[in-house]
Amino acid sequence: MSYLELEDLTRHFVRREGWPIPRKTLVRAVDGVSLQIEKGEILGLVGESGCGKSTLSRLIMQLLVPTSGSVVLEGERLADLPPAEIRKRRRDFQMIFQDPYASLNPRMTVFSTLAEAILTRRPELARDRSALESAVAALMGRVGLDSRYIRKYPHEFSGGQRQRIAIARALGPEPKLILADEPVSALDVSIQSQILNLLLKLRDELGLTMIFISHDLSVVRYIADRIAVMDEGKIVEVGESDALFTSPQSEVTRTLLKAIPKIRYPVAVSG
Amino acid sequence: MPLLEVRDLRTSFHTRDGIVRAVDGISFDVEAGQTVGIVGESGSGKSVCCYSLLQLIPQPPGRIEGGTAKFGDLDLLQLSEAQMRKVRGKRISLIFQDPMTSLNPYLRISTQLIEPLLIHEGLSKSEALTRAIAELEAVGIPDPKSRIHSYPHEFSGGMRQRVMIAMALIARPEILIADEPTTALDVTIQRQVLDLIKTRQDDLGTAVIFITHDLAVVSEVCDYVNVMYAGRFVERAPVETLFARPRHAYTRALQRSIPAMQKKGEILYTIPGLPPNLANGLPGCAFASRCEAHEGDPPHAATRPALVELESTHWVQDCPGCLAVAVTTN
């Protein structure tokens, strides 16, 4: 039994097009996805835009109800739980988004953003201000932010620092699974590396389980243990990262690999 | 005689925090049909540099402090607004990073696409429409005859970027400035857009100024590369030379920080620290505080180092600290 299992997960949408009598077409956004993820594993999920990555992530996050199939976390079938229980389970799943400019509330200080996240798991801290403050400071330290900045607002930080705040917020509720949706695509190359290093460090320290969604295969190859390639709602290929790179089995994977811009010149190595 | 000859361009922004020298004395040439890259981190001034050429900097707070940009017998920096309007979109055009926000959502693609032709070439609407349809076909939009009457939201991101390219090239400009044209796109779409820019450039003989932070993209499209840091070029070289024999510490650090270049499991190399705050003016070498190339000897330049030509067409900022470590090619 794996830590997280997706069992034949399916989500269809009905699209109504045309007027006055709408024609109904069925969109199979996620069409029978089965995946197993072990604790502490980073699974890369790649695919072109429109392949169903986002719908799949929303299904896992319990933000969408599957048409059929289910998400099983630690042997517990989430679809069978009553809605109130599902709400409680939401904090087990946290997301990191692509754009740290848009995903942080500009009117909340780092403290209030992170305190809110911590309180979902430890509501008893609400009565103990100093314990809450030290929990926030500890969280900031964990993601490499100086706790002197605890009273600052998101706009006072650089893009990379903002992404660190977003990561800290995701860690606040002590989640079992982190879903990172293109967390480095909006960042500069040098900042990208910092964030990737941070995610790997957190995985080692906290045993985080993570699904890393990206269209950039070179980044995914570096960070993920296994990669799942998605196309038209289905998983077309799953494999160890390096194996998938060296011997891609499906046409979709080959197309994605071919599309990566490559340095076309001999490159100097410096000390 | 190059098509465009930029000399000592300086643009600054007068803000409450002081004068931010976003572009601080840069010079470069663009030859006809050539692709010139400007690479750098966000905030290094690469976009400001190109927007200055088209006088698209909001003034105030921005101000073009000096320099020349010889384009034929014109100096782009001295043109009046009326003269500039004859250049923009006709002789030099621009594509932006985000095709979602640079098309007008209220207007049909046809209206937006024929506008340059109506303004610059005085064509009739029906003539312009025929040209526009041909242009859409050239950028690979299927069924252009009916698609041209769609609204921007009916196109996907990649298709919108194709429309932007069609719009930028429809008046057959001599120079196309592409400001991070593929940053917002998927890899597969990015590949298509890069290929498309290349084919259209070959068809039309347009010169391209390509702004990006992605060195891999640079290696694929550019002939000549300018590496920009803190408002100045720190290194300028033909693309093969830049990758094979990078001399400046910043160029080398940028190359090392590409994730694809590193082995799995190794900690990724990152450039320590942050780009300097340009508001306070920088006395010496701008990269000094982040440079890891050596142990403080020789020291970094105490005054801002000048660009020197090391070998033919390979220029680098003459800071002893940044040039310290010898480099070998593998």
Q: Per-residue pLDDT tens, chain A, 271 aa: give them.
A: 788 999 999 999 888 887 788 888 888 889 999 999 999 999 999 988 778 888 898 898 888 888 999 899 888 888 888 888 888 888 888 999 888 788 899 999 999 999 999 999 898 998 999 999 999 999 999 898 888 889 999 988 888 889 999 999 999 998 989 999 888 887 877 788 888 888 998 899 888 899 999 888 888 888 999 999 999 889 999 999 888 888 889 998 898 888 888 777 777 654 4
Element (H, E) at A10: strand A4-17
The DSSP call for residue B304 is P
User: Top-level CATH class of B4-228?
Assistant: alpha beta
pLDDT band for position B1 (cuts 50, 70, 90): confident
pLDDT band for position B294 (cuts 50, 70, 90): low
Q: Which residue has the tokens 């594509």?
A: B95
Residue from B156, B268, B269 whose CB has the most chain A CBs within 10 Å, to mutate: B268
The whole-number pLDDT of residue B316 equals 87
Of B264, B293, B327, the CB nearest to A221: B264
Q: Is the Cβ pair A270, B256 closer than 8 Å?
A: yes
From chain B residues 151-210, the ones with a CB under 8 A of any chain A CB are: 156-157, 186-191, 194
Tokens standing for residue B173: 């400009």
Residue B327 confidence (pLDDT) above 50: no
From chain B residues 96-135, the ones with a CB under 8 A of any chain A CB are: none
Angle A155-A116-A139 from CA coordinates, rounded to 5°: 75
Of B41, B264, B271, the CB nearest to A242: B264
Residue B326 confidence (pLDDT) above 60: no
Q: Is the Cβ pair B268, A158 closer than 8 Å?
A: no
Question: What string of DSSP letters covers A220-253?
Answer: HHHH-SEEEEEETTEEEEEEEHHHHHHS--SHHH
Beta bridge mates, A6: A35, A71
Q: Report the alpha-carbon distance of residue A233 to residue B136 in Å, rounded.
A: 30
The whole-number pLDDT of residue A271 equals 43
Contacts of A50 in chain B (CB under 8 A): 156
Residue B144 confidence (pLDDT) above 60: yes
Distance of CA B5 to the CA centre of its chain: 15
Q: How many CB atoms lie within 10 A of CB B305?
A: 23
Q: Is the Cβ pair A216, B187 closer than 8 Å?
A: yes
Give me the residue spans of the domains in chain A: 4-18+29-258
Residue B224 confidence (pLDDT) above 90: yes
The per-residue b/e assignment along B3-31, b for 16 or more CB within 10 angstroms, e otherwise, is bbbbbebbbbbeeeeebbbbbbbbbbbbe
Of the candidates B83, B137, B84, which has an alpha carbon nearest to the alpha carbon of residue B113?
B137
Give me the residue spans of the domains in chain B: 4-228, 248-317
Pairing type for strands B207-212 and B224-229 reads unpaired
Cα separations in angstroms, A148 against A74, A100, A140, A171: 38, 20, 10, 19
The whole-number pLDDT of residue B295 equals 62
Pairing type for strands B92-95 and B74-75 reads unpaired
Chain B nearest C-alpha distance from A201 (Å)? 9
Residue from A225, A263, A265, A269 whose CB has the most chain B CBs within 10 Å, to mutate: A263
The whole-number pLDDT of residue A134 equals 93
Q: Is the Cβ pair A262, B188 closer than 8 Å?
A: no
Contacts of B270 in chain A (CB under 8 A): 190-191, 193-194, 197
Contacts of A221 in chain B (CB under 8 A): 260, 264
Task: Note whether B205 and B192 are within 8 A (CB).
Answer: no
Q: Is the Cβ pair A268, B187 closer than 8 Å?
A: no
Of B262, B271, B327, the CB nearest to A270: B327
The whole-number pLDDT of residue A91 equals 85
Contacts of B260 in chain A (CB under 8 A): 218-219, 221-222, 260, 262-263
Of B214, B240, B253, the CB nearest to A265: B240
Of B41, B42, B268, the CB nearest to A197: B268
Between residues A169 and B323, the one the model is more confident about:
A169
3-state secondary structure of A100: coil
Tokens standing for residue A178: 């982190």
How confident is the model over B263-276, as a mean pLDDT?
77
| Bond preceding residue A154 cis, omega within 30 of 0 | no
Amino acid code (one letter) for B159? M
Chain B CA closest to residue A224:
B264
Contacts of B191 in chain A (CB under 8 A): 258-259, 261
Contacts of B269 in chain A (CB under 8 A): 193
B94-137 pLDDT, tens per residue?
Answer: 988 777 778 888 999 999 999 889 988 888 999 999 999 998 88
Between A and B, how many CB-CB pairs are < 8 A? 131
Residue B297 confidence (pLDDT) above 80: no
Specify whether domain A4-18+29-258 bears CATH 3.40.50.2300: no
Q: Is B1 on the interface with A (CB under 8 A)?
A: no
Q: Is the Cβ pair B268, A193 closer than 8 Å?
A: yes
Backbone angles phi, psi at A175, to 5 degrees: -75, 160
Q: Which residue has the tokens 């109504």?
A: A16
Contacts of A267 in chain B (CB under 8 A): 243-244, 255, 261, 330
Backbone angles phi, psi at B206, to 5 degrees: -75, 145
Average pLDDT, chain B: 85
Residue from A161, A188, A214, A256 whose CB has the most chain B CBs within 10 Å, to mutate: A188
Q: Report the alpha-carbon distance of residue B214 to residue B192 in Å, rounded.
A: 16
Q: Is the Cβ pair B325, A189 closer than 8 Å?
A: no
Q: Is the Cβ pair B268, A159 closer than 8 Å?
A: no
